[in-house]
Amino acid sequence: MKKAKKAVIEFTQERDWDQFHTPASLSRAISIEASELLQNFLWDDKYDKQKVCDELADVVNFCILLANKLEVDLEEIVLNKLMDNAKKYPVEKAKGISTKYTEL
Ligand SMILES: [Mg+2]
């Protein structure tokens, strides 16, 4: 992830685009790119893997930029949230079912 972070930040700096990147605008960008990802599955579950990967990369790129803007380590916050989710969804209660944690 360090290599990707460095590359995305360099890409942005070279173009002087950081001026447009507020936490709000980056959050909007993540949502828009997530919608573009969903567009690949609009009418059925068939998909073009390359197009899906392109949109997934767009989402992740903006996630990297938002984490950088917030001055947090993306890997660290992902792992922390995963630990929180593990408490909400203990294996013995959640394995093999999709019920929301409030209903477990
Ligand atoms: Mg896109």
Residue with tokens 């984490």: 67
Is pTM, for the whole model, over 0.85? yes
58 C-alpha to center of ligand 1: Å? 5
Domains of the chain in start order, with CATH, are 1-72 (1.10.287.1080), 73-104 (no CATH)
29 C-alpha to center of ligand 1: Å? 9
Q: What pLDDT, on a 0 to 100 scale, did the predictor assign at position 37?
A: 98
Q: What pLDDT, on a 0 to 100 scale, did the predictor assign at position 1?
A: 80
45 C-alpha to center of ligand 1: Å? 19
Question: Is the confidence at residue 27, as pLDDT, over 90?
Answer: yes
Residue with tokens 């949109």: 55
| C-alpha–C-alpha distance, residues 41 and 44, integer Å | 6
36 C-alpha to center of ligand 1: Å? 6
Q: What is the pLDDT of residues 34-65, one digit of tens each?
A: 999 999 999 999 999 999 999 999 999 999 99
pLDDT, mean of residues 14-30: 98
Q: Is 66 exposed, middle or buried (0-12, 13-18, 19+ CB in 10 A)?
A: buried
